[in-house]
Amino acid sequence: MSATAERTEVTPELGLEMYRRMTQIRLFEESANDLYRSAKMPGLTHLYIGEEAIAVGVCSALRQNDWITSTHRGHGHCLAKGAEVGRMFAELLGKEAGYCRGKGGSMHIADHENGNLGANAIVGGSAGIATGAAFSAKYRGTDQVAVCFFGEGALGQGLVYEVMNMASLWQLPVIYVCENNLYNEYTHYLEATAGEILARARSFGIEAREVDGQDVRAVFAETTQLVERARTRGGPAFLLANTYRYHGHHVGDIDRAYYRPKEEEELWRSERDPLAILGTWLESKQFANGDDLKRIEDEARDEVQAGVQFALEAPFPPPEQVTEDLYA
């Protein structure tokens, strides 16, 4: 992290809003897991639990008309950019009220009203879309910024380097946010990623920084600087956010001790939890007390439960619409 990043202030209001949003994402994901386990959700899903501070820290530094592109592990990105819980659950359950009329599912949620150009199940796939959006901002002379979220597994995809090259040559307002949760599916990233991650971006002349992805204030501080830089024609950036997913690669990945130790999972949960880190800070500053945090959690739980109920009761698209809105 750069020396100046900590100076970007998190006001009490913003701190509480970040806590609310991170709690909402966590509870959303826990309910998504319940829906899968009770066989109410078709297919599977990839939970973002443990990584909430990245989506919230980054999106708190963006305007509504800035863009994001997301991944197969994208619910947190969508919610942090302003998506509604009920419509998100409806999409997971294949209902017509969902963001893609129930035809995209968990891995393809887009919400253009809030600048979310869409999640993408192709690892690295959305890097081209984010870079294209940034090109359009520059071409049209707007000051919008595009953020591309991706896991470190996407570092093995050639597309990412093609677009970083263009972004640097054309000084596009795009920020590549690499969420390194240590694993690509069931493989430790060190077995798949050679050399230094930041050096890859720097070799294109792209400003590259590293941040503690469990600390929402640090993520917000770094992103605020990089967004400001991109908005004022300072060019693209790369942010490496170190994090951990508490659950398996997807909801069905239950027995995972063969690829990562239980002790490691427990250590991240007990020592590096992003909600606990922010909650402790809010309390230490006397911006909130335990009752305030509990109230935020209760409200988020009510919102999530109402969203689940809405989605369960919502109708499926009628069969005659089965080929509508499909482009591939």
Ligand X SMILES: Cc1ncc(C[n+]2csc(CCOP(=O)(O)OP(=O)(O)O)c2C)c(N)n1
* 135 near ligand X, rule: CB under 6 A: no
Distance of CA 98 to the CA centre of its chain: 19
Query: Reading across the β-sheet that carries 207-212, which strands appear in turn?
Result: 67-69, 146-151, 174-180, 237-242, 207-212
* 122 near ligand X, rule: CB under 6 A: yes
Q: Which is nearer to ligand X, 120 or 168 (CB)?
A: 120
Say how far apart CA 61 and CA 216 lie, in whole Å.
11
The one-letter amino acid at 150: F
Q: Contact region for ligand X (CB under 6 A) — 118-126, 269-277, 287-295, 314-322?
A: 118-126
* 242 near ligand X, rule: CB under 6 A: no
Residue 293 has, within 13 A of its CA and on its CB side, a CA count of 20
* 3-state SS assignment for residue 178: strand
Q: How many helices (H) and strands (E) does the chain have?
A: 11, 7
What residues between 268 and 327 interact with ligand X by CB under 6 A?
A: none
Taking residues 180 to 199 in sequence order and writing x for each that binds ligand X by CB under 6 A, - otherwise, the string is: -x-xxx--------------
Of the candidates 52, 91, 152, 273, which one interacts with ligand X according to CB under 6 A?
Answer: 152
Of the candidates 15, 76, 104, 151, which one interacts with ligand X according to CB under 6 A?
Answer: 151
What residues between 72 and 111 interact with ligand X by CB under 6 A?
A: 72-73
Joined together, the tokens standing for residue 165 give 């090259």
Angle at 315 between CA 313 and CA 317, to 5 degrees: 155
Strand pairing report for 237-242 and 207-212: parallel
Q: Contact region for ligand X (CB under 6 A) — 147-155, 218-226, 291-299, 302-310?
A: 147-155
What is the closest distance, in whole angstroms, from the C-beta atom of residue 73 to ligand X in the complex?
4
Q: Which is nearer to ligand X, 136 or 157 (CB)?
A: 157
Residue 150: strand pairing partners: 178
Of the candidates 57, 94, 153, 236, which one interacts with ligand X according to CB under 6 A?
Answer: 153
Joined together, the tokens standing for residue 16 give 């509480």
What is the closest distance, in whole angstroms, from the C-beta atom of residue 186 to ligand X in the complex?
9
Q: Show the beta-strand stretches assigned E in 18-100.
A: 67-69
* 247 near ligand X, rule: CB under 6 A: no
Q: Which is nearer to ligand X, 5 or 201 (CB)?
A: 201
Q: Which residues bind ligand X (CB under 6 A)?
A: 72-73, 121-123, 151-154, 181, 183-185, 249
